[in-house]
Amino acid sequence: MSYPPAQGSGPLPHAPRENAPSRRPDATVLVADPHPVVREGVKALLNAQPDMQVVGEAHDGITALGLVAELRPDVLILETDLPGLDGVQVAGQGHEVHPGCKPLVLTTCEQPGQVQLLFRFGARGYVLKRAPTEQLVQAVRTVAAGGTYLDPEVADYIVASSHNPTETDGTADTLSNRELLVMRLIALGYSNKEIAARLNLSVKTVETYKARAMAKLELSTRADLMRHAIRNGWLSDEPELVLAVATGNRPE
């Protein structure tokens, strides 16, 4: 299936940067947003970075998918409210068109349900349009490198909703943030070694967090842990979203 280019959309010609080495940038970026002023602002910001290059832009979802297939960008910055195909559809189908493309949402929407839905469909980052410009730059670098990034304002909403005392048995008040994160990742199927690598900890430290948390919660077996996880809603979020909320991929 082919996707015809739309007005204000398409690949972008780039003149060589003065005194810049002639090599591929660390992150190539496609920007999909219905508003020209947003696209121009994002292009100017990212093209000023030595390790980034905006290679194309789209003002609707259908054109964005066509350019993902044609240009094969590392990062796709997209608004949730796109004409033609919305951000959820583009995030999901973009990975099918080019598996190496990592969607990064740039939007005004901050509802936890929308954030969770987009991560479920393949988003690797989420930034609010009112965020400082350096936050978007950091998000692009994090996502391009294979990590996840969540705007700290949105992360606070997610944490608050997942720690609602009316829906849990007090786990959030019992465990430290690190203990809770390790336990949730174990429940989601991560091994101790995988958790250590993702959180930049030693395996022994992860085992200590797990043992301490199991003791606090009076859990003895993995079956006990899974029952506790189901009862407290630990399995409702995508693993990448859990990591984005609780790790260093959100500025303090």
Angstrom CA distances, 72 to 88, 154, 182, 223, stand at 19, 29, 35, 43
181 shares its domain with 140:
no
- Does the pLDDT at position 8 exceed 80? no
> Where residue 47 sits, what CATH number does that domain have?
3.40.50.2300
Lowest mean pLDDT among 38-52, 125-139, 218-232: 218-232
Q: In the chain, how many domains are there?
A: 2
Q: Which of 114, 129, 150 is the last residue of a domain?
A: 150
Q: pLDDT of 145-193, one tens digit each?
A: 988 888 888 776 665 555 444 344 555 557 887 888 888 888 877 888 8
36 shares its domain with 140:
yes
Instruction: Taking the CA atoms of 226, 227, 233 and 235 in sequence, report the sign of the dihedral they define.
Output: positive
- Does the pLDDT at position 128 exceed 80? yes
28 shares its domain with 125:
yes
190 shares its domain with 140:
no
Q: Which of 150, 178, 207 is the last residue of a domain?
A: 150
In a domain, 17, yes or no: yes
- Does the pLDDT at position 223 exceed 60? yes
Q: Which residues span the domain enclosing 99?
A: 10-150
CA-based R_g, the chain, Å: 20
Contact yes or no for 47/54 (Cβ under 8 A): yes
129 shares its domain with 235:
no
